[in-house]
Every structure is written in C-alpha cells, then in structure tokens.
Amino acid sequence: MSMELKPPPSDGWVPTLDDTPFTRMGGEAPVHALAEAFYDVMDAEEPALAAIHELDAEGKVNRGTRQRFGMFLVGWLGGPQHYSATHGHPRLRMRHGHLPVDVGMRDAWLRCMQKAMDKQGITGGLRSFLDDRFAQVADFLRNTEG
C-alpha cells in the first residue's frame, strides 16, 4: 500500500513536542474517557469486534482491556509513557497477530473510534490528525486478506 503525503489539517495544526494530541485533548482524564467511549460504542454497535476481546460477566469489553488501551493512548498521543513502563513496548502487530484483522474488522474498529471521538467532541485539526493516524495504524494491523 503506498501512502501519500497529505497537507496539514485545514486549521494548520500540526503536533509538536510542546503541543501534542495529548495536550490538545486536555490530559489523561479526557484520553481515558475516549478509550471508555470507544469500548462503549464497540459493545453497543460492533458485537463481532467486541467478541474478540476479553469480556466481563455482562458481556462487555472488560475493565483491564479498557485500562490498558487508555494507558496506551495516553503515551501514543504524546503523554506519559505509563503503558511502556508497565507492559513494555506496545509491539502492536505482535500483540494483535493472533487475531484475524481484515478490512471489515479494521473498518469496524475505525467506526468505533470515529463515534467515540464524536462523543468526546474532538474536532478541527486535532480530529483531522487523529482520523488520519488511527486509519494508518488500523490498516497497519491488517493481517488477513479481505
């Protein structure tokens, strides 16, 4: 797959070391809220995607998964590296390698994240940047044709 360079978001925002997506979002609490919203959408609207995660007694994506993803997002968005300090390098492809990730699964994941960002009111240049980055990572994790 060839990646083409895209111009900066329409409001001209591009992340810097001092102005990261993490700081734009407002820190750890809003990032963890995004992770919660993401799994809430998944539980409600993408049952096949939710089913590949560890579920709790109510059939929802469990607390541990939600917390790990929140920790990952904090670091990935430019905040403290709690995930790496606790779990080591994310090694996303290795950690997801046992799951068949095809175009349909990728797209379901992206729908959940887009709806979660909508619920969290993420807009403008930050939203443009995150839409692009999440799409890149989701496509990177594909390991099955179709």
Each domain of the chain, given as residue ranges in start order, spans: 22-141
Q: Cα(70)–Cα(63) distance, rounded to whole angstroms?
A: 10
pTM (2 d.p.)? 0.86
Q: Cα(11)–Cα(3) distance, rounded to whole angstroms?
A: 22
Sign of the CA dihedral 17, 22, 24, 29? negative
What tokens were used for 60? 């929802």
pLDDT of residue 140: 87
CATH superfamily of 22-141: Globins (1.10.490.10)
Sign of the CA dihedral 15, 18, 19, 22? positive
Phi, psi of 55 (to 5 degrees): -110, 155
Segment 40-83, tens digit of pLDDT: 999 999 999 999 999 999 999 999 999 999 999 999 999 999 98
Q: How confident is the model at residue 10 (pLDDT cuts 50, 70, 90)?
A: low
Specify whether the CB–CB gap between 73 and 34 falls below 8 A: yes
Collapse the DSSP code of 34 into the 3-class scheme (helix H, G, I; strand E, B; otherwise coil) and give the result. Answer: helix
